[in-house]
């Protein structure tokens, strides 16, 4: 054997169990978004600007990996489009955080497993299994457990307007796991991040300049930390692992964001955590274990 022969580079082989753990770890990081978002909102930045900067650093790093080959363009445009919609939807999530508790915004956001199953059914013809619907029901039950019946007025309206966030996140889960088989993990991440920035750019253009750029070095550090901790690193992990288990289990595993946000609201913002919140976290963990993985589609060969 020649010692000069190059060793082949292989993508990591993930079992359904390790892929589920990877998606769960990524979503714990996603669940930390409210910590950074509230700090930046308090610093005077607009919701659109926060979203733009969150994804801009990742988009800049991943831009060279955008797929240009003719046979990959259709899948690339699908993911770019889903990224554009997710970026726009994410603004509604941040707007809700300005007037509601982290747990209540998380309640609405945790409806995305339902939308993920429905969109996978409609767009990818993946008929949900009974276990998938059962896991989805557990996530909804967990969200309803922490529902505050006293929400009214502007607060309830902001929660309703935040619905685009879970719908668009569900869409990108389905596109990522089912509809872009020709793309590699880094190509998927590049398309998704660039799409988010494109979607947020018009909203940023309408933002007051005083609410766009950070005012001091500390705010820049918060933005950098948010970009790494809640976007680039977990998005790469999610992009690699989610296609291994399909949209149903990816959405169920992603529901770990709810207990993460509950814990964050308690530790960072002094929000109450009681028996309902603990029970809700247990239901989310049960949902992750209940929903079965679905094998991803294989890339078509010429």
Distance CA 214, CA 202 (A): 19
Q: What is the pLDDT of residues 52-110, one digit of tens each?
A: 999 998 899 999 999 999 999 999 999 999 999 999 888 888 888 877 777 778 777 87
Residue 151: pLDDT over 60: no
Q: Report the alpha-carbon distance of residue 187 to residue 67 in Å, rounded.
A: 6
The token pair at 250 is 């990816």
Q: Which residues contact 250 (CB under 8 A, 6 or more apart)?
A: 23, 116, 173, 177, 238, 242
Q: Kindly report the backbone phi and psi dihedral angles of residue 50, in degrees, each rounded to the nearest multiple of 5, phi listed first.
A: -60, -45
> What CA–CA distance (Å, rounded) separates 296 from 22?
16
Rounded to two decimals, what is the model's pTM?
Answer: 0.80
């Amino acid at each position: 054997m020649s010692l000069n022969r190059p060793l082949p580079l292989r993508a990591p082989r993930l079992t359904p169990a390790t892929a589920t753990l990877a998606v769960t770890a990524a979503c714990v990081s996603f669940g930390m978004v409210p910590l950074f978002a509230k700090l930046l909102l308090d610093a005077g930045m607009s919701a659109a600007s926060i979203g733009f900067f969150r994804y801009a650093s990742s988009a800049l790093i991943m831009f060279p990996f955008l797929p240009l080959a003719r046979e990959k363009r259709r899948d690339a445009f699908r993911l770019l489009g889903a990224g554009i919609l997710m970026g726009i939807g994410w603004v509604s999530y941040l707007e809700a955080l300005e007037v509601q508790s982290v747990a209540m915004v998380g309640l609405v956001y945790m409806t995305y497993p339902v939308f993920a199953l429905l969109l996978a059914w409609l767009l990818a013809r993946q008929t949900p299994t009974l276990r998938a619907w059962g896991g989805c029901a557990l996530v909804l039950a967990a969200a309803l457990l922490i529902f505050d019946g006293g929400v009214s007025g502007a607060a309830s309206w902001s929660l309703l307007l935040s619905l685009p966030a879970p719908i668009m996140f569900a869409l990108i889960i389905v596109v990522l796991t089912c509809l872009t088989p020709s793309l590699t993990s880094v190509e998927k991440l590049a398309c998704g991040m660039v799409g988010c920035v494109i979607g947020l750019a018009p909203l940023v253009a309408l933002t007051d300049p005083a609410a766009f750029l950070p005012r001091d070095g500390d705010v820049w550090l918060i933005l950098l930390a948010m970009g790494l901790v809640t976007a680039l690193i977990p998005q790469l992990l999610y992009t690699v692992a989610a296609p291994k288990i399909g949209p149903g289990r990816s959405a169920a595993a992603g529901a770990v964001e709810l207990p993460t946000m509950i814990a964050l609201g308690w530790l960072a913002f002094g929000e109450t955590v009681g028996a309902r919140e603990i029970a809700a976290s247990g239901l989310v963990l049960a949902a992750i274990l209940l929903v079965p993985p679905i094998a991803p589609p294989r890339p078509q060969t010429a």
